[in-house]
Amino acid sequence: MPINPAEVAHRAASDAELVAWVDAHDQLLGALPRAELRERGLIGRCTFILLFNRAGELCVHRRTLSKALYPGYWDVAAGGMVGYLESYEDSAARELEEELGVSGVALRFHEKFHFDQPGNRLWCAVFSAVWDGPLRLQPEEVMEARFMPVAQAQQESARLPYCPDSLVALQRYLANTV
């Protein structure tokens, strides 16, 4: 399947975006382009926003094929890298609006955790929100989205490619809220 030229341009801009570079204790060290942070194996900050509807179903979306990490994977959370000097909460609100078109909702902070895999080293902040309105997907980042029971997303993740970092965020959320 060919990649849309708009996705390619969006990816180039995303790779050049200055993001927060932190140490193993989440202390800010400076700003680096997103691609350089990945290439050098350094740690960045990111957010995960678990979006539920009032029925308790989780919004699951499929990432575009142009994404640097986990292209075409299913994702249980909206979110992304925290910009330099941006707060976790501001990043979460921005990412939720950019990716899914959801704004003006209360974001509930749950916890931070460290995720460390080759090419994806992160301090992660987990948020949740409730939304029953329409979704407006960002076509450069999100191919499709739907709400489903959490158990269904967990079952699908055993047989379909799901983003491992957001699955950890969901597992930690469930372990601490149930």
Q: Is 95 annotated as a binding residue?
A: yes
Place of tokens 């959370």: 77
Residue 156 is assigned to a ligand binding site: no
Q: Which residues pair with 108 in a beta bridge?
A: 128
Can you tell me the distance from the alpha carbon of 72 to that of 175, in angstroms, rounded to the nearest whole number?
27
Q: Binding site for Mg(2+), residues? A: 95, 99
Q: Binding site, residues? A: 95, 99
